[in-house]
């Protein structure tokens, strides 16, 4: 019914074995407790009879003459060696069972009372109890099997539901799973699948735009090169004119090389997503980046202000991807920030984790445009338009979120933020 690798099969075997063991142990303890209680009662009854007789009391003096006393046999025996302790043993003769007590009567002549009582009805009662317990165990075991099968089926039902929904999806029709419809224990799995679906949807969407944009971006320079070469070949020109034409062609080729290099960076980034995450001090990485870009900012007549909190924030992630995001934020901020203005790089803790922000004093953005789509350019500065596309892809791979928005403090400029989730990170305070 189930393969050896089936979790449900292993669960059923363990649950049935554990339940059967529990039923057997509980039933055994119950039976032995009942048996011991009955035998203790019979033993105390025989000892009491023997004490009364030893004290020269008749059996009738014990109280009401009952049927139990009719099956009682008392005799005096003599042993070769004195025996102080009370001896009790069980004996079976034919189909009858007897319980015999040897009790000291007169130690001077080594005489003892041998009190024998037939306990056949008691033995039959114990056998019936054992029989009933056995039947109850079988019924309980069958109920456990039914319960285990039902429970295991109920536990794997959400998995079958998720599998069914995912099997009906393709790259053109992908809808997030409704997490509220899942059991609480499966909510993290549903959230992870939704995150993966979101990444796949973005990947498919942006890959299509990337292919179309790449074709368009490369087609235009090629057309320019071809047109200039055709114009050059129409009539003879001086060497200087040929040199000028080649320079223009080389410039166009350089622009194409930039596009190709950025496309290659996409491939390198996708490879970096499969790198093994390592423990990284994010604050230390930010400080290192700040030192590099401070020199660049000073060279352009701008200022880079830093404000890092806390002192340290350790996270398991791919440092290459994080470095790419921060570098893109700082490059864009310095590119669009005018001379004598300030770019701020800061970090702080919030309810989600670590928030990293790069704030500039540039011209701002059009928030109605999808800034993360490939070959989307903002402002009047040159560029291929793949930077934020790469940053968004890197953030998705890190399980982080990026956001680009205009400043709301009355100053022109943008705020580029990266939100690292503390569930994948841990804070390690520095020793003072």
Write the DSSP assignment of 87-110 as a string of letters.
EEEEEEETTEEEEEEEEEEETTTT
Q: Distance between CA atoms of 171 and 168, rounded to whole angstroms?
A: 10
Helix axes 239-272, 187-234, angle to 10 degrees: 170
| pLDDT at residue number 266 | 64
| pLDDT at residue number 397 | 79
- Burial class (CB within 10 angstroms; exposed 0-12, middle 13-18, buried 19+) of 194: middle
| pLDDT at residue number 287 | 92
Provide Rg for the chain, Cα atoms.
45
Q: How many residues does the chain have?
A: 432
Q: Which fold has domain 193-271?
A: Helix Hairpins (1.10.287)
Phi, psi of 376 (to 5 degrees): -95, 125
Asked if 323 and 285 touch (Cβ cutoff 8 Å), the reply is yes
Judged by phi (left if over 0) then psi (alpha if -120 to 50, else beta), residue 225 lies in: alpha
Domain ranges of the chain: 7-143, 193-271, 278-426
Which residue ranges in the chain fall short of pLDDT 70?
1-5, 56-71, 82-86, 107, 170-173, 206, 208-217, 262-275, 374-385, 423-432
Q: Distance between CA atoms of 194 and 170, rounded to whole angstroms?
A: 14
Average pLDDT of the chain? 79
> Which of 3.40.50.300, 3.30.70.100, 3.30.565.10, 3.90.550.10 is the CATH number of 278-426?
3.30.565.10
| pLDDT at residue number 63 | 42
| pLDDT at residue number 67 | 44
| pLDDT at residue number 351 | 86
131-187 pLDDT, tens per residue? 998 898 888 888 888 888 888 787 777 777 777 777 777 666 677 777 777 777 777
Half-sphere exposure of 146 (CA within 13 A, CB side): 6
| pLDDT at residue number 5 | 65
Order of strands, sheet of 425-426, starting from the edge strand that comes earlier in the sequence:
278-281, 314-317, 425-426
Buried b (16+ CB within 10 A) or exposed e, 71-107: eeebeeeeeeeeeeeeebeeeeeeeebbbebbbbbee
């Amino acid at each position: 019914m189930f393969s050896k690798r089936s979790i449900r099969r292993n669960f059923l075997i363990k649950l049935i074995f554990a339940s059967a063991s529990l039923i057997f142990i509980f039933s055994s303890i119950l039976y032995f407790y009942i048996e011991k209680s009955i035998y203790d009662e019979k033993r105390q009854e025989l000892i009491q009879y023997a004490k009364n007789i030893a004290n020269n009391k008749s059996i009738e003096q014990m109280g009401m003459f009952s049927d139990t006393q009719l099956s009682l046999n008392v005799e005096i025996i003599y042993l070769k060696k004195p025996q102080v302790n009370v001896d009790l043993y069980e004996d079976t003769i034919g189909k009858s069972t007897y319980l015999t007590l040897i009790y000291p009567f007169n130690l001077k002549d080594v005489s003892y009372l041998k009190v024998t009582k037939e306990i056949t009805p008691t033995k039959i009662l114990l056998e019936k109890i054992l029989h009933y317990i056995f039947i109850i165990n079988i019924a309980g075991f069958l109920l456990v099997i039914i319960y285990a099968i039902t429970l295991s089926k109920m536990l794997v039902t959400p998995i079958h539901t998720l599998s069914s929904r995912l099997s009906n999806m393709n790259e053109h029709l992908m809808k997030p799973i409704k997490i509220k419809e899942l059991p609480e224990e499966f909510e993290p799995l549903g959230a992870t699948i939704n995150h993966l679906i979101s990444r796949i949807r973005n990947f498919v969407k942006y890959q299509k735009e990337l292919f179309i944009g790449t074709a368009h971006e490369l087609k235009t320079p090629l057309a320019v090169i071809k047109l200039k070469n055709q114009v050059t070949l129409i009539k003879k020109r001086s060497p200087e004119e040929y040199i000028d034409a080649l320079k223009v062609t080389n410039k166009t080729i350089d622009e194409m090389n930039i596009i190709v290099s950025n496309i290659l960076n996409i491939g390198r980034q996708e490879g970096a997503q499969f790198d093994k995450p390592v423990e990284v001090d994010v604050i230390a990485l930010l400080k290192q980046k700040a030192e590099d870009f401070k020199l660049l900012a000073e060279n352009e007549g701008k200022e880079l202000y830093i404000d890092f909190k806390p002192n340290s924030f350790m996270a398991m992630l791919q440092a290459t991807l994080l470095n790419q995001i921060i570098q893109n934020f700082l490059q864009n901020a310095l590119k669009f920030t005018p001379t004598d203005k300030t770019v701020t790089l800061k970090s702080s803790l919030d309810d989600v984790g670590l928030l990293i922000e790069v704030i500039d004093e540039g011209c701002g953005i059009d928030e109605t445009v999808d800034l993360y789509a490939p070959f989307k350019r903002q402002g009047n500065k040159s560029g291929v338009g793949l930077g934020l596309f790469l940053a968004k892809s890197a953030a998705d791979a890190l399980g982080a979120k990026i956001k680009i928005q205009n400043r709301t403090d009355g100053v022109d400029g943008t705020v580029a933020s990266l939100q690292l989730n503390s569930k994948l990170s841990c804070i390690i305070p520095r020793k003072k």
